[in-house]
Structure 1
């Protein structure tokens, strides 16, 4: 019995921690978009960053985010143009996105300067989007952009 308890505690300690809670209510609400949406880009002013360092929870991701997503996107666009999700800020920002197929997408400097940008294949479903900050757990003003046409 003692061996089973020790084994169970060991498994709990080595299991990866997933601090991003895609089931939580998003900080800035949700949006439903379909191909040809207007205005394009769809812009949302957010406070980027948070206290959770994603570097230890997701591979190939960096930055500090909140537990809850910043925005939940419901996309109805199979077969249409790709979606470009980007952010712009005076701070070094990052993007973390959970897609409808269970995949995670991350970017640090894929946009202009130190701004992130992710191009998503047009797959319908729920996307949870976090805008993080690269350097610290502080929050910074940012604008999140969702577009079929361009990125920041």
Structure 2
């Protein structure tokens, strides 16, 4: 799987996140070529659980234990990009279908993004973190094949 320079592979598992829990703010079931593109869900970033530094996010951050969002994706040849728009500084943390962790901060201003050049089919669990225990309301997660 090719992952662009927007994200670095986290070889260590994020220790406090439980991808077996139900996502707090919703999920998508998407098949490659989905419309409309992008799809999005809204939630709140941050939490009371600190995750340790991961490649791409050397300082770690604060998240909820359960994923904020979940995407079940049936892949084809298109790349898949996850990005965040929020009124505060956020971090994007993703566990992919193979169990690999990816983290990104500040791709577009203070907003993070992770692009999978050759995404795998399966479950993507997504957390949107903050640098402290604060919560950032009106945080949107976008999923696109076009960006």
The equivalences for 1:116-135 within 5 A come to 116-120=112-116, 121-134=118-131
User: Aligned partners of 1:63, 1:90: CA distance in 2, in Å?
Assistant: 17
Q: Which among 68, 71, 83 is matched to residue 69 of structure 2?
A: 71
Match for residue 133 of structure 2 among 130, 134, 137 = 137
Name structure 1 gaps, 5 residues minimum.
Answer: 1-15
By relative contact order (CA 8 Å, sep 6+), the higher-ranking structure is: 2
Show CA shifts across 1:42-94 (max 9, x none).
Answer: 111110111112135x45432211000011110001x3211110101121000
Pick closer, same or farther for the CA change 1:17–1:80 going to 2, 3 Å.
closer
CA distance in 2, matches of 1:22, 1:149: 27
TM score, norm. by length of structure 1: 0.80
**Alignment partner of 2:52: what SS?**
helix
| More strand, by proportion | 2
Residue in 1 that maps onto 2:111: 115
The residue that corresponds to 1:87 in the other structure is 84
Computing the radius of gyration from Cα coordinates, the structure with the larger value is 1
Residue number among 47, 59, 73 corresponding to 1:50 in the alignment: 47
| Higher helix proportion | 1
Q: Give the superposed CA RMSD.
A: 1.6
Q: Can you give the 5+ residue segments of structure 2 that lack an aligned partner in the other structure? A: 1-12
After TM superposition, where is structure 1 displaced by more than 3 Å over at least 4 residues in a row? 58-61
1:9 corresponds to which residue? Answer: none
Distance in 2, Cα, partners of 1:130 & 1:114 = 16
Aligned partner of 1:4 in structure 2 is none
